[in-house]
Structure 1
Amino acid sequence: MEVDLRYDAKIKGLAIKNGPEHVDPQLQLELEQLNTICTELIGITDAVPSPPTPENFNKDMSRMISKLYEGGVQAFKNGKIQDSEKQFTIAIEVINRRNKFEAFQGTLQELGILLMARADTYLAGKKYVKAFNDADLLIGLMMCTPDNFLRRGVANYFLENYEDARADFQRGLAFDPNNEKLLAELNNVLDKILDENGDYL
């Protein structure tokens, strides 16, 4: 399939012109990725991007992200769940706007802390699908953290995915066998499974 790619001044990148109505999603994704990396390269003033190091990590953005995180935590403590959720979401968006050539280790650390906080906020606000999505992403990023399995397990429990919740709590306990919260939640879900199966009165 042939497509007509041209530079579009409005988006400052390549776009498909006079193409078929339905463009292959993979082609569209690759085009967006190409435009993103080109934008990042154009924004660099050096001839070659410098290697990512802690020294060239944008400290101003880090301070902004830290303030948003602290504001979200304070809002959560004051019972303002929606304000807290908004602060964490904005902070995650700021992380996404970081230069793609910055050190990923710092970005990953910031993202992990914010996703944990936002997942807890979603659970408190009874937004269980969103909490599940954040916890699922956290498990992909930080597999050995038992609390992330707790978060996903609780979301699964309230979504009535009891077997998945049981599996999450058991996986979390594999990393921390004496975790009281995981043990308590596992007992709750086991009781629920027995009740659902009619084996428990």
Structure 2
Amino acid sequence: MEPFVAKIISCQTRLIIMNIPLRYDPKTKQVQMPPQAEVLVPQVKLEIDQLNTLTSELIAAGTDVPQVPSVENFNKDMSKMIKKLYEGGVQSFKQGKFEDSAKQFTVGIEMISRRHKFESFQGTLQELSLLLMSRTDAFLKTKDYLKAFNDADMLIGMMMCTPENFLRRGVANFFLGNYEAARADYQRGLAFDENNKRLKVELEICLDKILEENGDEL
């Protein structure tokens, strides 16, 4: 069964079970549910929003069936703009303008989120991971550790086997005062790259901090 159709059936099944009335708005061409139901069943609201997004993009495409995602139909103009923002962010980072750098990476990420949902996911993932890694580094420099943690956590979900992402989240955890979580991140990173010098150094610093906090031997 196609994922798009399966999602529609899954959403309809939930709504029937919970007896939630729906309304179709012919002007916006979107399915809507009562505001009170949105609060009670946020997961269903999320699924309806996703369906509305896919439907609107399918209508805008002007075809009954979307094109098969490929390198050829990946939006090249948007790719150029995203690349330009990335390069500008990198340049600002090298100049020590970390806040400006983070802003440019953020704009690039927002542009990626505007790509058509039927475009190549592999291409989108490559762009997003590159910008997220760079923005995490910028947030660490500006000491926005919670934002850095959120980006690094997303990166780990996308790229589980990349030790540098565990390093990023570990550093964020450390400065957020989550020392045990930081230690776990460094150790997991070393499991993928046991010779990573930066991970080893940060792990030693973290272990010393845990000793200092607990006053006990590990």
Match of 1:137 in 2: 154
Match of 1:172 in 2: 189
2:87 aligned to which of 58, 70, 76: 70
What pairs with 1:1-201 in structure 2 (closer than 5 Å)?
Answer: 1-8=18-25, 11-17=28-34, 22-199=39-216
**Distance in 1 (alpha carbons) for counterparts of 2:215 and 2:198:** 26
- Give the CA deviation at 1:69: 0.5
Secondary structure class of the residue paired with 2:61: coil
Change (3 A) 1:18 1:185: closer
Alignment check: 8 A CA contact 1:4 1:18 kept: no
**Distance in 2 (alpha carbons) for counterparts of 1:153 and 1:11:** 45
- Give the CA deviation at 1:76: 1.4
Gaps of at least 5 residues in structure 1 are none
- Give the CA deviation at 1:40: 1.1
Secondary structure class of the residue paired with 2:139: helix
> Which structure is higher in helix share?
2
**TM-score normalised according to structure 1 size:** 0.92
Change (3 A) 1:20 1:107: closer
Which shifted more, 9-18 or 98-107? 9-18
**Distance in 2 (alpha carbons) for counterparts of 1:54 and 1:28:** 33
Alignment check: 8 A CA contact 1:162 1:192 kept: yes
Percent identity (aligned): 64
- Give the CA deviation at 1:146: 0.7
**What root-mean-square deviation, in Å, do the aligned CA atoms of Structure 1 and Structure 2 show?**
1.8
**TM-score normalised according to structure 2 size:** 0.85
- Give the CA deviation at 1:83: 1.3
Match of 2:3 in 1: none
Alignment check: 8 A CA contact 1:92 1:111 kept: yes
Superposed CA offset, 1:37-92 (max 9, x none): 11111011333211111111111111010001011111112222221111111111
Alignment check: 8 A CA contact 1:3 1:19 kept: no
Secondary structure class of the residue paired with 1:178: coil
**Distance in 2 (alpha carbons) for counterparts of 1:127 and 1:162:** 17
Which shifted more, 132-141 or 46-55? 46-55
- Give the CA deviation at 1:163: 0.7
- Give the CA deviation at 1:8: 3.4
Gaps of at least 5 residues in structure 2 are 1-17
- Give the CA deviation at 1:177: 1.0
Structure 1 counterpart of 2:157, one-letter code: G
